Amino acid sequence: MRLSDYLEQSFSNLWRRKLRTFLTIFGVIIGIGALVCMIAYGKGIQKNISESFTQMELFNYISVFTDSALSRLGMRESVEKKETDGDSEAILDDDVLAKIQRMKGVEVVFADVRFPATVQFDENEEFVLIQVLSSELASSRLIKLRAGKSYVSDRENSLIVSDSLLNRLKVKDFQSVLGKEIVVSTLSFDFSQINPMDLSSFFRGERLPFSKESYTFKIAGIAERMGFGGPALLRSDVFVPPDAAKDLKKLPFSNLWDLFRSPAGRKGYSLVNVKLTSPRFVDSVTEEIRDMGFQTFALMDQFEELKRGFLIMDAVLVVIGMIAIVVAALGIVNTMVMSILERYSEIGIMKAVGASDKDIKKIFFFETSTIGFLGGLFGLALGWIVSGLINQVVNAFLTGEGVPFIQFFSFPWWLCLGAILFAILVSLVAGIYPAVRAARVDPVVALRHD
């Protein structure tokens, strides 16, 4: 028999039982649609994360910190080793920053110097961590400005605020706040607040040794705040020039990491961020910095672990989607077995006139593959439509919360092609038993049965 003969007979046999064929194909459509949606969702999440990290250049950053921070957090091994060897802890000072800046592949080095404060605009007030940043770095590509411009000198009485902070301050029109004044309030130690004759008020929290000072700044620019995963600098809500920050009365902590450092070891900076020109320099720069006696953290180092997490997520989603595929395969087996019983005499006649067992098997394999092809094709379409609807509904809700549009599903070409081929493969596997059973039909018994 020619290929066209197999195809013609397969479509003819399926068309004779239209309802049953439709229900069987519909089962495959549901299974493939569910599987495609699951995989597309997993790939969409991975694509969003990878592209976001790449666009925000998160793989280009290395965080550098001292052993004392790890020591205060309970990770004392490296510190104890230095103490045993009699070596003093390396200090992150301006000289070290200059050395790191000269390393191959380093674009910029900046210390993470922040202090707590509250900012007030109109009648709204928010707690923030203010980042001290030089005008040179503020004017570079380090900060992505949505509106306005950076302050031009380290002495300027201006600051940069994030779009996230303005949202929390209930500001709708970002352009309208440029050039306007914003009040920054800081806390500083003031032991005159404690009355030695009335210590009970101190323990009740009524008279704490702090005083509040307020300062007025002008809003020069609005920065796009980076979310979770970025370096601490780019997750700040307010940036101020260093000379202007010196005039502020504030708590004697340049960084929250200082809280984890021993009092005797509070020299230099506790945390420094390094931006590289390319992720390919991560290993070499990390090795050089560690040779200088410091600890490092790079998101690039954790990416392999992140990819393993993606594989686990993909496996879980595939297992869930395969449940529907198994049910669809059982439906194909049931349809083909019923077809054998209904066409028992027909099979006997074909074998009586010279059809071989191989020809009979091919007929049934063509029928099951046709079911798989149509089920895979329309299942892919169903998965695409359903995922599109889900994406629109979820984004409609998120847009109301101020979150930008996110494409949660991704349909790479291999998924589209693989869905159809997988449906055909599953159908062929499901058709093995019916095909073998049909090939074993004895023509004498089949004709006598008629």
Q: How far apart are CA 282 and CA 107, in angstroms?
A: 12
Inter-residue contact 100 to 109 (CB < 8 Å): yes
- pLDDT of amino acid 6: 66
Q: How far apart are CA 419 and CA 313, in angstroms?
A: 19
What residues contact residue 356 under an 8 Å CB cut-off, 6+ apart?
none
> With b meaning 16 or more CB within 10 Å and e meaning fewer, what string describes 223-261?
bebbeeebbbbbbbbbbbbeebbeebebeebbbebbebb
- pLDDT of amino acid 209: 58
Number of H helices, E strands in the chain: 16, 11
| CA dihedral of 309, 310, 314, 317, whole degrees rounded to 10 | 70
Per DSSP (E only), the strands in 224-314 are 238-240, 271-276, 295-298
CA angle 25, 27, 33 (to 5 degrees): 100
- pLDDT of amino acid 180: 92
What residues contact residue 349 under an 8 Å CB cut-off, 6+ apart?
443, 446, 447
Q: How far apart are CA 240 and CA 248, in angstroms?
A: 11
Strand pairing category for 145-148 and 158-162: unpaired
- pLDDT of amino acid 75: 44
Tens place of pLDDT for every residue, the chain, 450 residues?
A: 676 766 777 777 778 788 888 888 888 898 888 888 888 888 888 888 777 666 666 778 888 887 665 554 444 444 444 444 445 667 878 888 889 989 998 888 888 888 888 899 988 899 888 888 888 888 876 778 888 888 988 888 999 998 888 888 888 888 888 999 999 998 776 555 555 555 555 555 555 556 788 899 999 999 876 544 445 555 678 999 988 888 888 766 555 555 555 454 456 777 888 888 888 888 888 889 888 888 888 877 667 677 777 788 778 878 877 888 888 888 888 888 888 777 777 777 887 777 788 888 888 888 888 888 998 999 999 989 999 899 888 888 877 666 677 788 888 888 889 889 988 998 888 888 888 888 887 777 766 655
> With b meaning 16 or more CB within 10 Å and e meaning fewer, what string describes 91-112?
ebeeebbeebeeeebbbbbbbb
Collapsing DSSP to helix, strand or coil, 205 comes out as: coil
Inter-residue contact 208 to 193 (CB < 8 Å): yes
Residue type, 271: L
